[in-house]
Structure 1
Amino acid sequence: MKFKMQDKQNQLIERITDKHLVVGVDIAQQFHVARAVNFRGIVVGDPITFPNNEEGFSSLLIWINNLKRLHKLEAAIVGMEPTGHYWINLSKWLMKQDIEVVTVNPHLVKRNKENRDNTQSKSDKKDALVIADMVKNGYYAFVRNTSESFEKLRVLMSNRDVIVKRLVSSINQLNRWVDIVFPELRQVFKDITAKGAIATLRLFPSPMELGSMKPEEIVAGWKSLMKRQPGLKKAYLLLNVARKSVGTRQALDAYKFHLEQLLEEYDLAIQQLERVELAIKDELPKIPFANKLLMIKGISEISLAG
């Protein structure tokens, strides 16, 4: 029998019984707003605004328990948007109190704003009510507890994403710098991030510096930074293109200062990327079936962690 999406939603709706208090929370950085409805969508109680701390979370729990007692309800389900990171601490705290927590799609929240008052107006109290309605109607997903290893892997991969973005940004800026000061460098090194290209940018970045140098001096400079360095042929080519360079000759001191900082940022990103990937590879074997999945051809440790 084919399982349809509608069947899944029906099951989610059926989980909300007449004994449930359905709570919607509009998440913010400092203060959250919660509203509650019953299984039919009738508003229950007054809204509550509470701070994003232990005292605020406790006041929310007291509010939920009072509404359950007043309306003779036995269970509570709390829905929230998983936007940003401000919802994480609240969701974990509630789950420790044996309160079921679910998430709703932020895009669907925006589309359902007219359901209550036929307007697209926005307020924290209205958004909290819209979220509660969506949970009541079965438009939610479960929040599941993960193991320590999964949580570590999630944090490490998120960290890696940030570092990769910074690395890409620094490479783009290095390419821009080369385009302005020494565009002919690409005739010698196709990739600006190649070891030879980076070594050249460190030692003699501008064509004017190369004008008075000999090929042997360039090779000696490369040798001081690399175990396997380019030979005399590359050095002659570098000198030839430097003499014909159309790169700018103004404000070279400022450009060199800028290049130093770009290379520092590039080096830092490379070092941090190596460290975080090493931490990911150390944590990955603790995940069930990870070693077996790595035996599949074409799956790397980083791709599997992702």
Structure 2
Amino acid sequence: MNSKMNQKINQVTENTLVVGMDIAKRVHYACFVDDRGRMIEKAFPVNQSKEGFESLYEKILQTMQETKKTEVIVGIEPTGHYWMNLAYFLDQYGIPLVMVNPLHVKRSKELDDNLPTKNDKKDALVIARLLKDGRFSYPRILKEIEAELRIGSTLRSKLTEDLASIKNRIIRWLDRYFPEFTQVFPAFGKMALATLEKTPLPQDIKNKTAEELVFLYRQVEGMRAPQLPKAKLLIETSINSIGLTEGTQMARQEIATLLRQYRLLESEIESVNSQLAEMA
């Protein structure tokens, strides 16, 4: 650990311009110091835009020329995803971007003035001074296939979370209007979804024959061979159901909406998985 720390400290020499930046959604603040933490440029605003980034780059070049610095390092305290645009911009010019621990920033502020309160300008200076002490780490700037895989994996995780949320809402709907449904269908297979699409409520089922139900479910896309025994069991459970019988018009609308969302998410997850498999 000491060896790694020493390597980081050695990266900041008297020839290095140290840039600390406090990251925000719209306007960042940057502060320049030397290898001993002495301020070269007070904190100034940097807009989250192409013009703002280019202005920062020009100011870095100008300051390096004026102070006869040959190297530069930019450090940030990670704040959500707002730092990423800046990181990729700086990477184009070969300027390394590193990160400091938010806990270190907080503690350093308390040491400076015994005030841990948030202040963008003060934070930029604190971050810069942490850099010269080697207290930083390197983020991975993903490119090409790595970037595609990371974004795809994140998207898949989010879609899977959304699908689980919709599934839970369907279960809550069933608890109210057809509590016995899960006795017939423990999982949401094709026939279970077909049943909810064509005959979501017990009163839609109990006056039909098993053959009529099978005929209905065959009309659902992807449902080739509905099981007759399942249809018979559905009729038995629907007859003795304790499901609610009030508000059924909007209950039908609710379950139809949930089913559309469920199927869309399943389709999107399948599409993302297919693309990721091709890339891997």
Q: Distance in 1 between matches of 2:250 and 2:103?
A: 47
- 1:213 counterpart = 2:208: yes
Q: Measure how far apart 1:139 and its partner are.
A: 2.0
- 1:194 counterpart = 2:189: yes
Code of the aligned partner of 2:216: G
Matches within 5 A, 1:232-251: 233-251=229-247
Which of these residues, 12, 31, 34, is aligned with residue 35 of structure 1?
31
Which of these residues, 112, 119, 123, is aligned with residue 116 of structure 1?
112
Matches within 5 A, 1:81-230: 81-191=77-187, 193-225=188-220, 226-230=223-227
The C-alpha deviation readout for 1:34-78, integer Å capped at 9, x for no partner, is 012221222222211021112111211222223323333221100
Aligned structure 1 segments of 4 or more residues deviating by more than 4 angstroms: none
Equivalent in the alignment of 2:262: 266
Could you tell me whether the CA contact under 8 Å between 1:222 and 1:230 is conserved in 2? no
Q: Measure how far apart 1:7 and its partner are.
A: 2.3
Secondary structure, counterpart of 1:92 in structure 2: helix
Q: Distance in 1 between matches of 2:248 and 2:105?
A: 54
The C-alpha deviation readout for 1:178-197, integer Å capped at 9, x for no partner, is 11111100110111x22221
Q: Distance in 2 between matches of 1:107 and 1:247?
A: 53
Could you tell me whether the CA contact under 8 Å between 1:83 and 1:106 is conserved in 2? no
Q: Measure how far apart 1:215 and its partner are.
A: 1.4
Q: Distance in 2 between matches of 1:109 and 1:266?
A: 44
Could you tell me whether the CA contact under 8 Å between 1:82 and 1:106 is conserved in 2? yes
Secondary structure, counterpart of 2:117 in structure 1: coil
Segment drifting more, 275-284 vs 62-71: 62-71
Which of these residues, 16, 20, 27, is aligned with residue 12 of structure 2?
16
Q: Measure how far apart 1:144 and its partner are.
A: 4.5
The C-alpha deviation readout for 1:136-184, integer Å capped at 9, x for no partner, is 2222122454441111112211221221121111111111111111110
The C-alpha deviation readout for 1:248-298, integer Å capped at 9, x for no partner, is 1110111110111111111111111111111111111xxxxxxxxxxxxxx
Q: Distance in 2 between matches of 1:81 and 1:120?
A: 15
Question: How many aligned positions are there?
Answer: 278
Segment drifting more, 60-69 vs 25-34: 60-69
Q: Distance in 2 between matches of 1:98 and 1:15?
A: 15
Q: Distance in 2 between matches of 1:203 and 1:122?
A: 57
TM-score, normalised to structure 1, is 0.85
Unaligned runs of 5+ in 1: 285-306
The C-alpha deviation readout for 1:226-259, integer Å capped at 9, x for no partner, is 123222x222211111111111111011111011
Aligned residues with identical type, % of pairs: 37
Q: Measure how far apart 1:107 and its partner are.
A: 4.2
Equivalent in the alignment of 1:256: 252
Code of the aligned partner of 1:229: P
RMSD in angstroms over aligned alpha carbons? 1.7
TM-score, normalised to structure 2, is 0.93
Q: Distance in 2 between matches of 1:78 and 1:175?
A: 50
Alpha-carbon spacing, 1:144–1:251, altered in 2? closer, same or farther (3 Å):
closer
Q: Distance in 1 between matches of 2:65 and 2:112?
A: 26
Unaligned runs of 5+ in 2: none
Could you tell me whether the CA contact under 8 Å between 2:20 and 2:30 is conserved in 1? yes
Equivalent in the alignment of 1:304: none
Could you tell me whether the CA contact under 8 Å between 1:80 and 1:102 is conserved in 2? yes
